[in-house]
Structure 1
Amino acid sequence: MKKCILTMAPTLFFILLMQLIATTCNGVSPPKFSAVLIFGDSTVDTGNNNYIDTAFRANHTPYGQDFPDHIATGRFSNGKLVPDFLATKLGIKETAPPFLDPNLPDYELLTGVNFASAGSGYDELTTAATGAIPLSKQPQYLKSYIERLNIIVGEDKARSIINDSLVVISAGPNDFIFNFYDIPTRRLHFDTDAYQDFVQYRLQIFVQELYNLGCRTMIISGLPPIGCLPIQMSAKLKPPYLRTCLHHQNRDAQSYNQKLVNLLPQLQVSLPGTRLIYSDVYEPLNNLITNPQKYGFVETSIGCCGTGTVEAGGFCSPNTPVCANHSQYVFWDTIHPSETTYRYVAEYLENEILAQLSDIGSH
């Protein structure tokens, strides 16, 4: 095994350099991407909903308490999200800014932006209830982004940036929560199996649209253990001492994920030049929920904000008290994980996914 030994002052540059060398010494070179482009829902929205007419916003405290400078950016957590950690790990940028920010400078566009919208989903019916930007509309914003890139760097360079970007897609839970479980509108027309197929049909259309616009490497997230979200346990109106995960919803999520695992290789073959990578968010989150002490967590069934049973978005407000030990809670509000959880999920995904992409930019 190679040894990497350096001695010099521990500046920030040196620390980052050591991280890079350590990665290389382990035999895995980090993939090289020109930019990161994010699509999806509140799990990855870094603030786009601040600029649209929707009640689904997080641009107020106590959101952002542990973000740099304690800013409530619009992220539905107390700090950073998975795309932020991933962009940093890849050496692209520290955070992925929202594309709808009217003050977004040109230099930010060169390394990627975020198109996600909290409350979004693949099913058009999902955003009819939330007022969010549906997944189907997010490629239109990508078109606008490309037009701005064309002006800044020219069409050839813009095309290269898009082709060489890492695309992250995280959506799906809202479709099932809003349309199937809590408000069973779609259950009038679909059983579980058929609705899963419908959502993944919409997913295929979405990926095809991104492909047509030049995107080639895409990480596509499956579903988390939906039945373990505090809001889902609260929907069953059980007292605190009887709060347990809803196992049928978790089984549905696992079934959906297996279908997605089977679908992506077929979809990749139909889209020449693509790399479509499945992102397993179920397993890392389930690890924390079933073995919390192993990872330093104490509370898994309620959120840190307020009572932890119903508060999210506007109900997790500046007047809402929060738990004292943020890092010991798996969830920040009743739907969204805490920054500590997102950090763990990001590290899990880095280990699982980045090795599969290590050949990118290495030749």
Structure 2
Amino acid sequence: MAPPMTLFLLTIIVQLCNGEMAARKFPAMLVFGDSTVDAGNNNYITTLFRGDHPPYGMDFPGKISTGRLSDGKLIPDMLASRLGLKESVPPFLQPNLSDDEILTGVSFASAGSGYDELTSVVSQAIPVSKQPGYLRDHVKRVKNIVGEERASRIVSNALVMVSAGTNDFIFNYYDLPTRRFQFSISQYQDFLLKKLHKLVKELYHLGCRKMVVSGLPPVGCLPIQMTAKSHLLRSCIDTENKDAESYNGKLKNLLPRIQAELQGSKILYADIYSPMIQMMNNPNKYGFEEIRRGCCGSGLLEAGPLCNGLTQVCSNPSKYMFWDSIHPSESTYRFLALNLTLELLPEFS
């Protein structure tokens, strides 16, 4: 009998083959959010929240520090490859993007951003609410390249990803409790969901129709949160995880209502929480040896400017669930991307 890991990999291969039909439906990808999907836009603005230096990108092709806050590729890159679009999704602010790059999609995301504009006051990132403004400029360029009719088809059939929210809770509620003085946790969740609702409607009015909106990860299991509140035991912070579950439940219920408002739209919820909890509970199944600290430095605090060329790095990032104290490793993203490919993309007709 094959060992468990071999069976697991065989299952993945079979599922990937079954998912091939879902991988040819989208002419482009358009990506909005925070560092989980920022391909390097922060390289072109004034902020410390950047991954444009080693050891970031050590597993990216060519070992290039692109601005992605991981050791390698992000989920949009992996999905773009699966869709046959390209091997990576570039940042919109990258100068001199080719017409082909423009037509097949870009990322407007900014590391350190959130739905709450106050989040970007701390990080100096591009708030998620401002990112549709870049989409307007992008659509104009697409129209200039292929004409208005084809541009409309590209945008309406593009796979749109939205991934944000974690920074809002960490920056404004848990670690820097500015919003805690104004809102209960339930009220702050509702406040953010109103912002998200407005964002999705704006994307719709700009022509987007096929959207995937990510929920929160288990925030209390991020290494930096363990360091802040469970430094010795290094156990997940249950209250923060319960808050994430509660927010995700509200988001999952909200999206069908938004879809019903926006004729011709398809808006799906992407569950990030459950697969990450499964990885935490069954690390060996996924090939992980370390799930409580990042690969970069001590793995307890280092991220962004603190994860740099002077910090030590683990010998094999693929054995780590987290790359730094906040961001998943490329290996973790690969499992999440696989889940999205199999569970969500077939839902789009």
Superposition map of 1:269-280 within 5 A: 269-280=260-271
Q: In structure 2, what is the Cα distance between the partners aligned to 1:341 and 1:238?
A: 23
**Residues of 1 paired with 2:328 and 2:137: CA distance?**
31
What is the total number of aligned residue pairs between the two structures? 337
Please give the alpha-carbon distance, in whole angstroms, between the structure 2 residues aligned to 1:323 and 1:73: 20
Q: Which residue of 1 aligns with 2:175?
A: 182
Query: How far, CA to CA, are the matches of 1:30 and 1:111 in structure 2?
Result: 14
Q: Tell me, in whole angstroms, the C-alpha distance in 1 between the residues paired with 2:114 and 2:93.
A: 18
Cα offset, 1:22, TM superposition? 3.6
More helix by share: 2
Q: How does 1:49-198 map to 2 (within 5 A)?
A: 49-198=42-191
What amino acid maps onto 1:109 in structure 2? I
Instruction: Name the CA distance, whole Å, in 2 between partners of 1:21 and 1:79.
Output: 21
Instruction: Tell me the equivalent position of 1:268.
Output: 259
Name structure 2 gaps, 5 residues minimum: 1-12
| Worse-superposed segment, 147-156 or 41-50 | 147-156
- CA separation of 1:286/1:153 partners in 2, compared to 1, >3 Å: closer, same or farther? same
Per-residue Cα deviation, 1:224-256 (whole angstroms, up to 9, x for no partner): 0000000111112622xx110001100000000
Which residue in the other structure is 1:321 paired with? Answer: 312
Cα distance in 1 for residues equivalent to 2:22 and 2:319: 33
- Counterpart of 2:203 in structure 1 is 210
Which residue does 1:23 correspond to in 2? 18
**What secondary structure does 1:95 align onto?**
coil
1:153-201 per-residue CA deviation (whole Å, 9 max, x = no partner) reads 1111111111111100000000000000000100101001010000000
Q: What is the letter of the counterpart of residue 310 of structure 2?
A: N
Deviation at 1:132, TM superposition (A): 0.3
Partner of 1:238: 231
Task: Tell which deviates more after alignment, 281-290 or 302-311.
Answer: 281-290
For the aligned residue pairs, the C-alpha RMSD in angstroms reads 1.6
Taking a change above 3 Å as real, the CA distance of residues 29 and 344 of structure 1, as seen in their structure-2 partners, is closer
Counterpart check, 1:249 vs 2:244: no
Distance in 1 separating the partners of 2:285 and 2:14: 25
Please report how far the alpha carbon of residue 291 of structure 1 lies from its aligned counterpart in structure 2 after TM superposition.
1.1
Aligned counterpart, 1:40: 33
- Could you say if the C-alpha distance between residues 327 and 212 of structure 1 is closer, same or farther in structure 2, counting changes exceeding 3 Å? same
Q: Give me the whole-angstrom Cα distance separating, in 2, the residues matched to 1:21 and 1:303.
A: 29
The equivalent of 1:12 in structure 2 is: none
1 CA distance for matches of 2:52 and 2:16? 38
Give the deviation of 1:352 after TM superposition.
Answer: 1.2
How far apart, CA to CA, are the structure 2 residues paired with 1:235 and 1:304? 18
CA contact (8 A) 2:15 2:342 kept: no
Matched, 1:333 2:328: no
Instruction: Measure how far apart 1:117 and its partner are.
Output: 0.3
Matched, 1:201 2:194: yes
Check conservation: 2:80, 2:88, Cα contact below 8 A.
Answer: yes
Answer whether contact 1:36 1:167 (CA < 8 A) is retained.
yes
SS, match of residue 136 in structure 1 = helix
What's 2:6 paired with?
A: none
Deviations 1:101-133 (A, max 9, x none): 012112210111110000010001000100000
**Offset of 1:356 from its aligned partner?**
1.1
Unmatched segments (≥5 aa) in structure 1? 1-17
Shift of 1:19: 9.3
Would you say the 8 A contact 2:56–2:72 is kept in 1? yes
Bigger shift: 75-84 or 157-166?
A: 157-166
Question: Is contact 1:23–1:30 with CA below 8 Å preserved after alignment?
Answer: no
Amino acid at match of 1:152: I
Q: What letter corresponds to residue 23 of structure 1 in structure 2?
A: N
Task: Tell me what 1:15 maps to.
Answer: none
Say which one has the larger Rg: 1
- What amino acid maps onto 1:39 in structure 2? F
**TM-score normalized by the length of structure 1:** 0.90
Question: Would the aligned equivalents of 2:217 and 2:276 in 1 still touch at CA under 8 Å?
Answer: yes
The residue type equivalent to 2:28 in the other structure is: A
